[in-house]
Chains A and B, each alone.
Chain A
Amino acid sequence: MHSLCGAFGWTPAVHQQAKESVILPRKKAWSKEAVLETLASTLNRDSTAYPYQFQDDPYLSPRTATEFKLYSLAQDSGRSAARYFVNNHPKFFTKDFAEPHIPCLMPETVSLLLEEVSEEALKERITLRKVTAAVDMYDQLLQTGTAVSMETTHELLDLICLYCDRNPVQEGEAGAEEEKEGRRMTSRRGADVPRLSWTENNNAERIFYLLPERDTRCYSAVIRGMVKHGAYAKAFSVYSDMLNNRTPGDVHIFNALISAAPEVRDGYSERWDLISELLNHMKQQEIHPNLLTFNSVLKSLRQCGSLARSYSPQTLNEMKALGIAPSLASYDHILAVFYKSVSSGPSNSDVLQNLMTELEGQSFTCVDPDDVLFFSSAMKVCLDNKDLELGYRVQSLVEVGENWRLLGDSVQLSIYYGRFFNLLCMMEDVDVVLRWYKQMVPSLYYPNAQGMKHLLQALDTDGRLDLLPDIWTDMKTLGLYNRADLLEQLLGLMAGEEHSPELQEAFAVCALDVKSVFEEKAGLEWSASSLSHVTTLLLRASKAQQAWDMLKLFKAHNRIPSEALLNSFLSVCQRDGASERAVELVQLSAAFCLTSTSGLASRALAEFDLNQEQRLVLAGLEAAAGPPSD
């Protein structure tokens, strides 16, 4: 036995342990997505690929920001069209092949089934969000004298107040999806519910006042609805009603009233007094505040002027003392308070520095719709203070876990990355800028004209003008050739100085490309500087004929070529020995009535070997233009 142990390399100790009881570890229970999540954690973002939802047909990959929006809207509208068909024509979708059964692919009920006057029918209408039908059913129930349970009444009031007494736009109806998406794209607020205004004596108020007894939830629904749809003063009067009836409130009522406080008072201190009064009422009624309460306080403090600077930190500390973790929205309000406007003097970035230290490495989820504004405000602060390191810290917070989801919709995303890129172009080395450029564009960020200008400036500062032709191809892909000022900047950079022959050749190709863009796109006006830049570039690359065509364009667009341009043209002509061209040049200059005509003429006479005819012409021009200006 022992020899065997020795043979297998077991020590006596191990052999001992084998005699002891084996403790089986408890079975691990994995969630149903555990395998997929592990696999997904091995993948990083591919910066050269289009976003995943577009990886289908290469023709349909978005190359500009507008295409991105358009294609996302198209995808969503396709999905909702499919849902519409499935739900509205269930008779075509009866076969169920899937085993096990997949409930979410089955048609849903969208039309009313119950027609008789009953509470069940009312509940059905509420569930299907049919506001007018529900109100009608409720009225019918009241007329027949049937009592409606409090629960259903609460839900009815909730429904009416949420949708401001109008039917919500159902999915699949014409224009609904674009509206919803359009709202999603342009404004994050109330994507489901548009900004309607609360009409006088609408059904909500009527039903509310008809109720024999009004409890907290009824008041809550009405006050929240009024605040949501703009009837702020009314909300406060209903609130004082509630106080007079000694009905207890709830946290949602106070949240709504606090956010409405700046609308009903005009002075900063009156607003703050109202807010603190509401908070004290909450305390008296022993209603516990939640995160949204404090976020509304901070949001309303933004409109309280200088009081905000003292009270916002106190609110934040209050939150912490109560054990409520501030969300990104709270921090966004703090930033707005402390970095009010650019004109408020040189503000230091201390607040943001300390904030970033606290937030470092944390993972956030969206708990307040305003959370998505935090990152773009933070980046704005970094940009205004030209603080690159802080910008990097903000960016590293974005890269933690799933925080990138909190960058919001495509508008917010482009604002954030635009500011970040701007900061980089201003402060960083061009190599780093280009590295970020490759990572971000176009997978995360489609630069607009402003962003491109910053990039061009950065290239200019660091003398990497050799990259300009590549940037020009990028600009064409991004659809940025509609901006004459951007094109002018590009041309100006290219024409600034002399470069190596290959580069000049590349620049000339670019210049011709730009010229064709100008010619094709209606609404793009040539400016004198653009024309002269193109001409200069062509001259430098020895494309004399095309440069000559450019000069004709000057006349066509009523622009005046500069003296320097004509002189350099003359030098090129002299190099090429094109004396005919030189004469034409001077004649052109005369046609423009330029003061430099006589100078040019004398130069031509001196430097070229011309025949008699040409000499006469030139002499005439020289004389006609008068004495050369000194």
Chain B
Amino acid sequence: MKVEVTNKRKLKSLKTKSESATNYAPKPSAIESTFSMFQKATAADTSSESGTLEPDLVAAASAAAATLPNSRQAESELLQQLRRRKDLTEAQKKGNDLGDIIADMKVGKKFSRQNSWPSNQIRFDEDGQGYTHDRGIASELASVRKRKKLFPSKRLNIFSPVTDKDTAESALTKPTLWDIAFVNELSFSTNQMPRNVLEEMIQWTKEGKLWEYPINNESGLEEEVGISFTEHVFLEKHLEEGFPRQGPVRHFMELVVAGLSRNPYLTVQQKKEHISWFRDYFHQKAEVLNEADVCLS
């Protein structure tokens, strides 16, 4: 459970990252604004399609990270790596046309992503399609800056932009010891200390040490949510079979059922087991009861 929620969070942060990755471009062009918006839309599409990682991969990552001393950061880093690889391969899958566009284009000024982030969180969930185009063309044009190119655009020309799908498999393998050591090195080299008590609480929540806000009294009791109270309280139906309808045994069992119905600490399964234990017990002791003249019909 903890792992899936982590994924969701990473998805949002990676969405902006994969955009900046695909937005990276070196040259001005008159139609830059529409192109970059198109790019943003396709990038957002790719990242929204990528969804969550396979659960066993994620479980393997968390198990692997658990062996590390700094396992929470390591785990989030590992998952981030896997997602990044996955997103990158998918971005590269559609890479051919994007690659040409990139080669012709120039980096516009980046708006501060921090301000637009909270609103993106909401909009992302609403229709699942990532960005809606309400940024407006005006803001795009306003950000185009005229400046010299950073470097001449000659390339090594050794590799060609990736179009095929066999990179997809390489991104989905279990993290090896090398990956774990690499992620560990990364977490050591950066400064992960919390700067205030709230950041510390965020770290603790990710590790599972702290209740999640807003507080849900029933966290940890998920399976009980689905079971209605009638099954806990109205337990006479379990007395239908295996027990006599009258007599001291029945009386005793009715008292047991009354006690169980008031017990908030046992699950329904445990209560049923309790009752069936009594059923077996009385069946075993049938001779004793017969001698005592208690009817067992």
Contact = CB atoms under 8 A, between A and B. Distances in A.
Contacts of B88: 290, 323-324
A355 B107 CA distance: 11
B160 to A, nearest CB: 8
Interface string B196-211: 1111111001111100
Contacts of B266: none
A201 interface: no
A407 B80 CA distance: 20
Given A40-B198, A323-B98, A406-B190, A35 B214 contact: yes
Query: Could you say which of A40, A103, A368, A372 has the most chain B C-beta atoms within 10 Å of its C-beta?
Result: A40
Contacts of A408: 189-191
A476 to B, nearest CB: 27
A102 interface: yes
Interface in A337-388: 350-351, 354-355, 357-358, 360-363, 365-369, 371-372
Given A317-B26, A318-B159, A360-B109, A369 B205 contact: no
A178 to B, nearest CB: 14
B126 A192 contact: no
Interface stretch (A22-30, A483-491, A539-547): A22-30
B177 interface: yes
A158 B158 contact: no
A147 B111 CA distance: 58
23 contacts: A32-B212, A36-B198, A40-B199, A43-B195, A53-B194, A104-B208, A129-B67, A159-B177, A171-B69, A189-B185, A192-B184, A224-B178, A290-B85, A313-B150, A313-B151, A317-B153, A318-B157, A320-B24, A324-B88, A357-B147, A362-B20, A363-B113, A413-B191
Interface string A401-413: 1001111110001
B33 interface: no
Contacts of A289: 159
B200 to A, nearest CB: 7
Contact of B181 (A99, A162, A405): A162
Nearest to B177: A158
Interface in B209-243: 209, 212-214, 219-221
Nearest to B111: A361
B287 interface: no
Contacts of A413: 191
Given A280-B158, A320-B25, A362-B20, 5 more contacts: A188-B189, A317-B153, A361-B111, A363-B114, A408-B191
A171 B220 CA distance: 32
Contacts of B162: 288, 322-323
User: How many B residues touch the partner, as a band?
Assistant: 35 or more
Contacts of A159: 177
B289 to A, nearest CB: 41
A127 B176 CA distance: 11
Contacts, number: 231
Query: Could you say which of A83, A108, A129, A361 has the most chain B C-beta atoms within 10 Å of its C-beta?
Result: A361
Interface in A160-180: 162, 171
Contacts of A500: none
B36 interface: no
A400 interface: yes
Contacts of B177: 155, 158-159, 162
Given A104-B208, A366-B189, A314 B213 contact: no
Contacts of B150: 313, 351, 354-355, 358
Nearest to B147: A357
A33 B69 contact: no
A577 to B, nearest CB: 63
B185 A279 contact: no
Interface string B135-157: 00000000001011111111111
A60 to B, nearest CB: 16
A128 B122 CA distance: 43
A606 interface: no
B272 interface: no
Contacts of B151: 313, 316-317
A317 B154 contact: yes
B232 to A, nearest CB: 19
Contacts of B121: 30, 34
Contacts of A29: 8, 125
A36 B125 contact: no
Contacts of B20: 325, 362
B197 A162 contact: no
A82 to B, nearest CB: 12
Contacts of B152: 313
A210 to B, nearest CB: 20
A40 B159 CA distance: 44
A321 interface: yes
Contact of A283 (B92, B112, B158, B219): B158
Contacts of A51: 193, 195
3 closest residue pairs by CB, A with B? A100-B220, A313-B151, A40-B198
A52 B195 contact: yes
B161 A322 contact: yes
A351 B84 CA distance: 29
B47 interface: no
A192 B209 contact: no
B167 interface: yes
